[in-house]
Chain A
Amino acid sequence: MADHDVLVVGAGLAGMRAAISAYRSGADVAMMSKVHPVRSHSNAAQGGINAALGGGEDSVDSHIYDTVKGSDYLGDQDAIELMCNEAPQEIINLEHMGVIFNRDDEGRLGTRAFGGASYARTFFVADITGQAILHVMYEQILKAGVRSYEEWFVTDLIIENGECRGVIAMEMLTGKIQSITAKAVILATGGVGRAFEPSTNALICTGDGMALAYRAGSTLLDMEMVQYHPTTLAGNGVLLTEAARGEGAYLINSEGERFMEKYAPKMKELASRDVVSRSEATEIEEGRGVDGCVFLDLRHLGAETILTRLKYIHEVAYDFAGVDMVTEPVPIRPGQHYIMGGLKTDVDTRAWDVTGTAGWNGVKGLFAAGETACVSVHGGNRLGANSLLETVVFGKIAGEKAVEYAREQKDFTIADTHLSETKERIKGLFDRADNGERTAAVRMELGQVMNQHMAVFRNEEGMQLAAAKVRELQERYKKLPVIHKGAVYNTDLIFHMELGNMLDCAEAICAGGLLRKESRGAHFRKDMPERDDENWMKHTAVTFSEEGPQATTLPVAMTRWEPQKRVY
């Protein structure tokens, strides 16, 4: 008998929302995460969550249009319509759960402006929106009494006859390796920012779910679409929310000029992120930066706005860069932040092709939501505050659809070999001879090459170099030793396995980038600077093979919006 109907791997916003919706559907659901749920990286989302709920002139159609345009027409329009249609109700659901959203004078939910949006439709809790929602979501998990495997690291998916039957995982506090079976598995393990150095991402963002599924035969979509956030702090690269610009902050160069007026005359600082990051990189390249940075200037907003609505980033800039943003401009630069690509799913979050005719692979019984997945609502460029929205909308759908699927499954037992093979493989890691290589050093080489060649500006030569470097690192990885041999909380072993996951994601990022012969969204090639709708309004799709990544294309789902020139 399976241990659970549904197992959710990852307990950030998408994972917990999926667990709650599966629980409400009456199933036996469990969550598993390599960290305690409230440590998840959803915490880091600062600015807010989008929905056309405010009334006035805003409409769901406007939200859909902004998202399609923001995606540089690469997003699947059916998925975007679904997300934006569900958004208002999902905001209300979050409010009912207990999220302390900002209010207007009448006590109703209030909004702020955000990048790439025609109207102020971003709902928020100061600048800790992600944290405020994540903690409330965990409250709901505690209320429901959902079984939560905390600090368990998934090493393998259990696949039998092309169907996912659960996971093999290690309990980090004891080192015990165990199989946890389930009729359906939802992957909600977040992004892969740590394959880049620096990155705004937490150390845990290592693409585990993407890599597990990729190796098991799933398809990774649009992996070349890597978002560089325009305002990451000089030095340690911590994120400063777009809400700063939403509240009215300026971007200025070394000459004190508001340079966005040149690049996006209408939206200026609130153009979409790919546009703003490219503009900053251009300013810096052309010598109008200081130490590789331009400046975020909040001084005219006044102490009160900064200290009530942007309290956390004020704290961060002070703690990590010694800058008081009330009186000084903050040095910032574009930094790796998010991956639009991920595990290909349909709008029901299924990571396999149900019809068997759509031209992509997958593993039956495997679902995905959030940054791990590519459904695809962000296409070539995600709008700020659409990621939190994606996690809750598709998390909820994933929970419901996984329960439906689980109910159709007969009970099963799995072969003992899954567990023994994993144990054997991990023993093999411990037995490797110390050849002097260290996990952290290899990870740093990966991060640096990705940040050099797969960044805001790309070209053929650079991407080839990055792909070759990733291949070289993968070869070295095959001999990389685990130095510490202990069972209890062995992070040396965990980091080793995470590095393997990042390398697999990185090869897919390079393969997608090399395949796409145009510039679109975050994928800007200096050697091919134009968007090519005729040939490239297509997704890139990468699958795993022993010989290296296999890249092909898939069509983009269109409903009502024909591609237009993108002007902000």
Chain B
Amino acid sequence: MQANLRVRRYDPESAEQGSHLQDYQIEVPDHFTVLDALMKVREEDDPSLALRCSCRASICGSCAMTVNGRASLVCKTKMLDVAPDGQAVLVEPMNNQRVVKDLVVDLQFFWGKVRAVEPYLQPRGEEPEGEYIASNESMLNLLTPMGCIMCGACVSACTVLEVDKNFLGPAALAKAYRFVADPRDDETQQRLESLNESSGVWDCTRCYMCVDVCPKGVAPMDRIMDLRESIIEAGMTNTPGARHIESFARTVAHSGSLDEPMLAIDTWGRTNIIKLMDNAMLGFRTLRRGKLPLRSGPFHPRRPGADAVGRIFKRLSK
């Protein structure tokens, strides 16, 4: 097949400002991946093209980039899947990270997040002479987060990191889960306290992008939800995030729909004037654009069928 690659190029040493797109047309066998095609371009056509790759077997995590806007491990992205009719394939560096050259991004941002979650086992007391005794189920449970190859695709796709660079992000939080869920680790309480703070688990908006793009099935968002659950179970409910979901559930259970002003008040507390003012402004703007139902807040009536909703909650909480 003919591969039409449209690659975003950036050369920090060039006089030209910013990046540009460059087209490459090459003939490739049908089984080629996007990485195979990029390597062929680099080998035969343009040795200035910079990209990272190593194992070619989706285990080293080097070759995450965006393909037609989607964060992908290019060694397991087939040309035929993204361009069945030989269309142009847009290959760009990962998002949310500084580009060094062409398809190579600076890894400092990614690893800074991972470092922040103290990513190493912290047992207390004397090590046993033999192995720690742990059930096979508890180890198999860790296989999913341990399958993370740190490629950065989820960080590239994260819609929260796009607007808030302080968020720990999906990869680091999935890594944090790996220790929280490890029966050998004795710092669970301290880990959960720290993940409960701002920029932690509560900043995820559950957009599912990280789950969608992860090439290894780690499903970082699900791990973040597991962490939220552990935090609530540990009784750490006095944070905006925890209060937010409690209020969410309570108002829906009571009236059958979400009471957004109450949600703000419960989340931030009645005395947090600054945050409430901030939220009020947001509410005002939302109202002006017709996105806030008038019948909320003090005028929040029970909806028809609210009793049934309440019963569902009751049954689930059993």
Contact = CB atoms under 8 A, between A and B. Distances in A.
Interface of A: 35-36, 38-41, 43-44, 91-92, 95-98, 100-110, 125-126, 128, 131-132, 135-136, 139-140, 142-143, 150, 173, 202-204, 235-236, 238-239, 308, 312, 315-316, 319-320, 438-441, 483-484, 486-492
Nearest to B137: A103
Contact of B59 (A35, A128, A140, A439): A128
Given A98-B121, A107-B135, A44 B149 contact: no
Contacts of B31: 235-236
B132 interface: yes
A291 to B, nearest CB: 13
Given A103-B136, A110-B136, A203-B56, A438 B44 contact: yes
A208 to B, nearest CB: 14
Contacts of B132: 95-96
Interface in B234-274: none
A39 B121 contact: no
Given A101-B139, A106-B133, A316 B57 contact: yes
B282 to A, nearest CB: 39
Nearest to B102: A489
Given A101-B139, A202-B54, 4 more contacts: A125-B146, A132-B146, A139-B119, A315-B58
B48 A492 contact: yes
A480 to B, nearest CB: 12
Given A36-B107, A438-B44, A489-B50, A43 B101 contact: no
Given A106-B133, A203-B56, A100 B139 contact: yes
A135 B127 CA distance: 21
Nearest to B111: A36
Contacts of A492: 47-48
Given A103-B135, A202-B54, A489 B61 contact: no
Contacts of B123: 96
Contacts of A44: 55, 57, 59-60
A202 B60 contact: yes
B233 interface: no
Given A100-B139, A139-B119, A486 B57 contact: no
Interface string B39-82: 00011100110111111111111100000000000001000000
Nearest to A140: B120
Given A98-B121, A104-B136, A440 B44 contact: yes
Contacts of B60: 35, 38-41, 43-44, 202
Contacts of A101: 131, 139
B27 interface: no
A125 B59 CA distance: 14
B131 A239 contact: no
22 contacts: A39-B62, A43-B60, A96-B131, A98-B120, A108-B131, A128-B143, A132-B146, A139-B119, A142-B115, A173-B106, A203-B54, A236-B31, A312-B59, A316-B57, A438-B43, A439-B43, A439-B47, A440-B42, A484-B48, A486-B48, A488-B12, A488-B13
B298 interface: no
A202 B121 contact: no
Contacts of A39: 52, 54-55, 60-62
Interface string B133-174: 111100110110011111000000000000000000000000
B59 A486 contact: no
Q: Chain B: interface residue count, which band?
A: 35 or more
Contacts of A235: 31
A92 B54 contact: no
B100 interface: yes
A308 B120 contact: no
A476 B40 CA distance: 22
A202 B12 contact: no
B119 A107 contact: no
A139 B184 CA distance: 15
Contacts of A109: 131
B130 interface: yes
Contacts of A439: 43, 47
A41 B47 contact: no
B150 to A, nearest CB: 5
A483 B47 contact: yes
A38 B149 contact: yes
Contacts of B143: 100, 125-126, 128
A486 B11 contact: yes
B134 A103 contact: yes
A491 B55 CA distance: 16
A394 to B, nearest CB: 22
Contacts of A135: 146, 148, 150
A229 B15 CA distance: 49
B104 interface: yes
A38 B61 contact: yes
Given A440-B43, A486-B13, A108 B133 contact: yes
Given A319-B76, A487-B13, A97 B121 contact: yes
Given A39-B62, A101-B139, A107 B149 contact: no
A106 B130 CA distance: 13
Contacts of B120: 98, 139-140, 142-143
A132 B55 CA distance: 16
- The residue among A95, A100, A104, A131 with the most chain B CB atoms within 10 A of its own CB is A100
Contacts of A489: 50, 100-102, 104
A35 B100 CA distance: 15
Contacts of B127: 96
B182 interface: yes
A201 B13 CA distance: 33
A308 B140 contact: yes
A131 B104 contact: no
Given A108-B131, A139-B120, A35 B54 contact: yes
A98 B100 contact: no
B202 to A, nearest CB: 25
